[in-house]
Amino acid sequence: MVLIGMRWQELLNKPNKENFMKRFLLLFLILLFTPSLLWGGGVTLGGGDTLGGGVSILAGGTTNCISGTYVLGWNGDWTLDTDKACIGSTDTTGKDSALVIGGTFSTDYGESGSIGFIVDGTNHFSRYDQTLRQYAKDNVAQTIWMRIYISAALDADPYVIRLVDSAATTETIRIDIATVTGSVYAVGTYRAISATSGILATGSWITVGSSWDKGGTEKLAVCYGVTWSAEFDISAQSFTTGVNQIFVGNAGGGAPGAGKYVYIDKWVIQDGYKTACPW
């Protein structure tokens, strides 16, 4: 940097036409390398190449995917593209939603200032399309984990996630937030069979999950925190074709009610039955 400065002073002392382009080039180099000196790092360019570390300038934004093992997940931290999900924790490409309706992404709806999604109406969701059983699968063991905030007991039972065969929309795997006589529960459903959690806390951030072991033990269970429900048999349940759409939010469930809502801070879909939550 000192050598560049000396050369700059030399060119200033020779203000001829030939030196104009040289001064311009030196100025560009100073601006390019200054971040590495100020922050102890360097510059990351659009292709992900790094000059020393430090400042990132990534085409399409940067990502901070959820740590851990999963096939698809979302936490709103994909810079410049808040609805984009991560295809695993090291993903650099991402999975865009095909459609967003009703709900809103905002730091007002996430935990600790992160971006979250609000469900406060009947059809408030983001939809992710996939090829048949690409990420979410109905024919093997999988687990869904979600970090949510429920404002209070709700007027009706909204969905917070729903895996669907678009050709037979009654064939679903989902998590509902159900209110029964003032108490709130998570309900995990595989087609016509459901499992219910213990009473959920409202007014605070909680973790809920649902897991199914199709093709294995043929069981379904739902989780609140670290406590799993009783298991229910799903051996008689199957999909005509299989899951090809993932709705995150309320796609077809009941309306939470005036001034009532569910926030979604993050979610993942993992392979395996009753897997460990990654957060």
CATH assignment of the domain containing 127: 2.60.120.200
Asked if the structure places residue 170 within a domain, the reply is: yes
Asked if the structure places residue 179 within a domain, the reply is: yes
Which stretch of 75-79, 86-90, 138-142, 213-217 has the lowest confidence by average pLDDT?
A: 75-79
Question: Is pLDDT above 50 for 71?
Answer: yes
Does 142 lie in the same domain as 45? Answer: no
Question: Is pLDDT above 90 for 129?
Answer: yes
49-69 pLDDT tens trace: 333 333 333 334 557 899 999
Does 244 lie in the same domain as 119? Answer: yes
CA-to-CA dists, residue 157 to 154, 200, 257, angstroms: 7, 14, 10
Please report the pLDDT score of residue 27 as a whole number.
Answer: 55
Asked if the structure places residue 276 within a domain, the reply is: no
Asked if the structure places residue 277 within a domain, the reply is: no
Does 226 lie in the same domain as 152? Answer: yes
Residues 6+ apart with CB under 8 A from 60: 80, 81, 94
Does 177 lie in the same domain as 153? Answer: yes
Distance of CA 142 to the CA centre of its chain: 17
| Paired tokens of 132 | 């048949």
Does 52 lie in the same domain as 11? Answer: yes
Our count of domains for the chain comes to: 2
Does 136 lie in the same domain as 47? Answer: no
Asked if the structure places residue 65 within a domain, the reply is: no
CB-based contact 141:249 (threshold 8 Å): no
End-to-end CA distance of the chain: 44
Does 51 lie in the same domain as 129? Answer: no
DSSP assignments along 203-262, one per residue? SSEEEEEEEEETTTT-EEEEEETTEE---EE-TT---SS---EEEEEEESS----TT--E
Does 235 lie in the same domain as 105? Answer: yes
pTM, two decimals, is 0.79
Please report the pLDDT score of residue 45 as a whole number.
Answer: 31
7-54 pLDDT tens trace: 445 544 555 545 545 555 555 555 554 443 333 443 333 333 333 333
Please report the pLDDT score of residue 240 as a whole number.
Answer: 95
- 36 HSE (CA, 13 A, CB side): 13
Asked if the structure places residue 168 within a domain, the reply is: yes
Does 122 lie in the same domain as 249? Answer: yes
- CA-wise closest residue to 77 among 55, 53, 61: 61
Task: State the pLDDT confidence band at 80, using cuts at 50, 70 and 90.
Answer: confident
Please report the pLDDT score of residue 145 as a whole number.
Answer: 98
Does 148 lie in the same domain as 49? Answer: no
Helix axes 17-39, 2-12, angle to 10 degrees: 150
Mean pLDDT, the chain, integer: 85
Does 100 lie in the same domain as 45? Answer: no
Does 52 lie in the same domain as 83? Answer: no
Asked if the structure places residue 139 within a domain, the reply is: yes
Please report the pLDDT score of residue 8 as a whole number.
Answer: 44
Domain span holding position 51: 2-56
Question: Is pLDDT above 70 for 141?
Answer: yes
Asked if the structure places residue 279 within a domain, the reply is: no
Q: 181 by DSSP, 3-state: which?
A: coil
